[in-house]
């Protein structure tokens, strides 16, 4: 199968599902019957995840070693975020989230086909590096899901105040319940980010073959850690919630994206080098 088709298949499935969820959830009146994910919708989303996972595996191990880059990072982050959403939807009704997650997943699933320039991970054989890599990707994906969740809450709050509820928003849990779920996601992701930053600082020479360097990636990683840490402390000590919590969540997510994805995008696309 041509490489572009490997990425086009999951992107098309995500796009079609996004269109379906937009028409059946966001555009339907709130007076219609509330519904969870239908069995065929859950199965179709699982099929998209399977196709996306296969494409990622092929892209990661296309050469003799393990390769990585900004496009694969974004693709993997969205794959994990949608997978976490699929699992989360078994326990919580978050109808509006599909219409936000599916377009983002479709775009990121297709990115490796247009930006195939990747660099080989020299330390991929190291168990310590693999643990660092897995924890980092889990942290990134959970923060991605948290950012999408925060956007959904922001839109839901605006629609609630404007009395413009569609079926998706009428089916959502109360905002306080959604806020508790958001902070649960952020709390778990923050622990993983702490492990990622800590392992990178303590074992830099073993993980990356060089002593610790205080570069722009480290600055943005630590900045995102401070933002999310400040948000959790503010929540615990001052009861931060609502728009303030959403702004801090999105600010921390942007800083986290700049830490690796942004630097890789500049190196691979704007500067045209893979190292």
Q: Write the pLDDT tens digit of every residue in 188-207.
A: 999 999 999 888 877 776 66
Q: Is the confidence at residue 166, as pLDDT, over 70?
A: no
Q: Alpha-carbon distance 241 to 243, whole Å?
A: 7
CA atoms of 232 and 226, how far apart (whole Å): 10
Report the pLDDT value the prediction gives residue 232, as an integer from 0 to 100.
96
Q: pTM, whole model, 2 decimals?
A: 0.86
Residues 6+ apart with CB under 8 A from 202: none
Sign of the dihedral through C-alpha 108, 111, 113, 119: negative
State whether the Cα torsion 88-89-94-98 is positive or negative. Answer: positive
Distance CA 40, CA 275 (A): 43
Calpha distance 109→96 (Å, rounded)? 21
pLDDT at 217: 80
Q: Highest mean pLDDT: which of 117-126, 171-180, 206-215, 226-235?
A: 226-235
Where are the domains positioned within the chain? 3-270
Contact 61, 128 (CB under 8 A): no
Q: Rounded to whole angstroms, how far apart are CA atoms 99 and 193?
A: 27
pLDDT band at residue 153 under the 50/70/90 scheme: confident
Question: For position 117, what pLDDT does the model report?
Answer: 64
- Angstrom distance (rounded) from CA 248 to CA 173: 22
Which letter, b or e, does each residue of 84-93 get, where b requires 16 or more Cβ atoms within 10 Å of its Cβ?
A: bbbeebeeeb
Helix ranges, the chain (H): 3-21, 39-60, 70-88, 97-114, 127-161, 167-170, 175-202, 204-208, 216-238, 242-257, 263-265
Structure tokens that stand for 25 in this block: 């959830």
pLDDT at 64: 67
Count the alpha carbons within 13 Å of 230 in the hemisphere toward its beta carbon.
Answer: 14
pLDDT at 275: 47
Residue 251 has pLDDT above 90, yes or no: yes
pLDDT digits (tens, 9 = 90+) for 33-85: 556 788 999 999 999 999 999 999 988 886 667 888 888 889 999 999 999 99
Residue with the bigger pLDDT between 174 and 209: it is: 174
Which pLDDT does position 135 carry in this prediction? 93
DSSP 3-state assignment of 240?
A: coil
Per-residue pLDDT, averaged over 242-250, amounts to: 89
Residues 207 and 168: beta-carbon distance below 8 Å: no
Confidence label for 129 from pLDDT (cuts 50, 70 and 90): confident
pLDDT given for residue 147 in this prediction? 93
**Residues forming a β-bridge with 166:** 29
Residue 111 has pLDDT above 70, yes or no: yes
C-beta of residue 214 within 8 angstroms of C-beta of residue 133: no
User: From CA 71, how far away is CA 74, in angstroms rounded?
Assistant: 5
């Amino acid at each position: 199968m041509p490489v572009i088709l490997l990425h086009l298949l999951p992107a098309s499935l995500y796009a079609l599902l996004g269109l379906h969820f937009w028409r059946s959830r966001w555009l339907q009146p709130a007076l219609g019957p509330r519904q969870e994910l239908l069995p065929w919708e859950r199965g179709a989303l699982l099929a998209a995840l399977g196709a996306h996972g296969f494409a990622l595996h092929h892209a990661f191990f296309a050469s003799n070693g393990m390769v990585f880059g900004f496009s694969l990072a974004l693709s993997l982050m969205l794959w994990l975020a949608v997978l976490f959403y699929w699992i989360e939807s078994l326990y919580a009704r978050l109808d509006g989230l599909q219409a936000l997650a599916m377009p983002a997943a479709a775009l990121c699933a297709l990115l490796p086909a247009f930006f195939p320039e990747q660099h080989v991970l020299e330390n991929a054989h190291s168990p310590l590096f693999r643990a660092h890599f897995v924890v980092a990707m889990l942290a990134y994906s959970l923060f991605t899901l948290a950012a999408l969740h925060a956007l959904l809450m922001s839109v839901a709050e605006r629609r609630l105040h404007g009395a413009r509820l569609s079926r998706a928003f009428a089916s959502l849990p109360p905002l306080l319940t959604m806020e508790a779920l958001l902070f649960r996601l952020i709390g778990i992701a923050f622990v993983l980010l702490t492990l990622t930053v800590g392992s990178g600082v303590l074992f830099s020479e073993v993980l990356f073959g060089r002593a610790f360097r205080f570069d722009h990636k480290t600055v943005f990683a630590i900045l995102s850690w401070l933002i999310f840490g400040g948000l959790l402390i503010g929540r615990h000590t001052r009861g931060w919630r609502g728009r303030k919590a959403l702004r801090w969540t999105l600010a921390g997510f942007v800083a986290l994206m700049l830490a690796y994805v942004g630097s890789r995008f500049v190196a691979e696309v704007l500067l045209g080098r893979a190292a």
